[in-house]
Amino acid sequence: MIDKKFYHTLSEQLESKCVQLVAVSKTKNAEEIKSMYDEGQRIFGENKVQELLSKKPLLPSDIKWHLIGNLQSNKVKQIISNVELIHSVSSMKLLAEIEKQSKELDISTNILLQVHIATEETKSGFTPDELLSELSSGSFDNLKNTNIHGLMGMASFTHDNNQIKNEFKQLKSLFDKFKSEYSKNQDFKILSMGMSGDYELAIEAGSNMVRIGSLLFGAR
Ligand SMILES: *Cc1c(COP(=O)(O)O)cnc(C)c1O
């Protein structure tokens, strides 16, 4: 069951701050997604390629699907023409594969680079140093079919709000630095950070896109 009243309160609050809401619908069925669509939500996030591809045909075609979870190179070809944005581009190898397959399909794929800001080793992404060195060595200059719209990150899973705040602040300052050095791409403006447990801290730190699942759809 979705909490409609909470959904409207949250979306108004986010709208007033110019923060976009990605409703994370992983493990939820098409019916549950449709009921949030009927409340006005259009951006939905899934973390698995197969799950996204199996739900998509069951739902209205004006939904903007975002892939937010780990993407394997061998699934790139299937997913790129089916999503508005991929949040989870976590390596140069994956980026190269997205560029190659997008060229073959003659499409432009919108992506975010995922940055590793948490302490957990299990979370993936570029380190801030890696990202800046790829940027200054020109690795992102020759992309023709892949458009980097911004950065995504996940804070550590901890109750220590100060730690979470610091991780988000670190990502925000990396975002600002990247943006100023990547001025040839005017589309670079999305900072995707914040989930159910920490979206308020993320917005305070400068997020403009939050990915919220359990608060909207109930626990998984
Ligand atoms: C599941 C997931 C979310 C949403 O998590 P909630 O805590 O349910 O809001 C956000 N981002 C990513 C990458 C996820 O996998």
Tokens 């380190």 map to which residue? Answer: 127
Give the pTM.
Answer: 0.97
pLDDT band at 200 (very low <50, low <70, confident <90, very high): very high
Read off the pLDDT of each residue in 153-157 and give the average, rounded to a whole number.
Answer: 94
Position in ligand 1 atom list of the atom nearest CA 26: 1
Q: Is the CB of 27 under 6 A from ligand 1?
A: no
Q: Is the CB of 213 under 6 A from ligand 1?
A: yes
User: So what's the pLDDT on residue 118?
Assistant: 82
Read off the pLDDT of each residue in 55-60 and give the average, rounded to a whole number.
Answer: 98
User: So what's the pLDDT on residue 218?
Assistant: 87
Helix (H, G, I), strand (E, B) or coil at 196: coil
Query: Is residue 176 pLDDT above 90, yes or no?
Result: yes
Average pLDDT of the chain, as a whole number = 96
In this predicted model, what pLDDT tens digit does every residue of 72-84 receive, in sequence order? 999 999 999 999 9
CA distance 53 to 183: 34
Read off the pLDDT of each residue in 53-70 and give the average, rounded to a whole number.
Answer: 98
Query: Is residue 123 pLDDT above 80, yes or no?
Result: no
Compute and round to an integer the Cα radius of gyration of the chain: 17
Q: Is the CB of 68 under 6 A from ligand 1?
A: yes
Q: Is the CB of 194 under 6 A from ligand 1?
A: no
Q: Which residue, among 182, 23, 163, 197, has the nearest Cα to 112 in the 3D structure?
A: 182
Read off the pLDDT of each residue in 119-123 and give the average, rounded to a whole number.
Answer: 75
Query: Is residue 150 pLDDT above 80, yes or no?
Result: yes
User: So what's the pLDDT on residue 120?
Assistant: 77
Tokens 């070809």 map to which residue? Answer: 77
Read off the pLDDT of each residue in 136-153 and give the average, rounded to a whole number.
Answer: 96
Position in ligand 1 atom list of the atom nearest CA 152: 13
User: So what's the pLDDT on residue 121?
Assistant: 74
User: So what's the pLDDT on residue 178?
Assistant: 97
Distance 106 CA to ligand 1 centre (A): 31
pLDDT band at 133 (very low <50, low <70, confident <90, very high): very high
Q: Is the CB of 26 under 6 A from ligand 1?
A: yes
Percent of the chain whose predicted confidence (pLDDT) is above 90:
93
Give per-residue burial for 146-177: e unless 16+ CB within 10 Å, then b: bebbbbbbbbeeeeeeeebbbbbebbbebbee
Other C-beta atoms lying within 10 Å of the C-beta of residue 120: 11
Pocket-testing residue among 47, 67, 83, 157, ligand 1, by greatest number of atoms within 8 A of Cβ: 47
User: So what's the pLDDT on residue 20?
Assistant: 98
Distance 184 CA to ligand 1 centre (A): 31
In this structure, what is the dihedral angle of CA atoms 125, 100, 108, 186, given to the nearest 10 degrees?
50
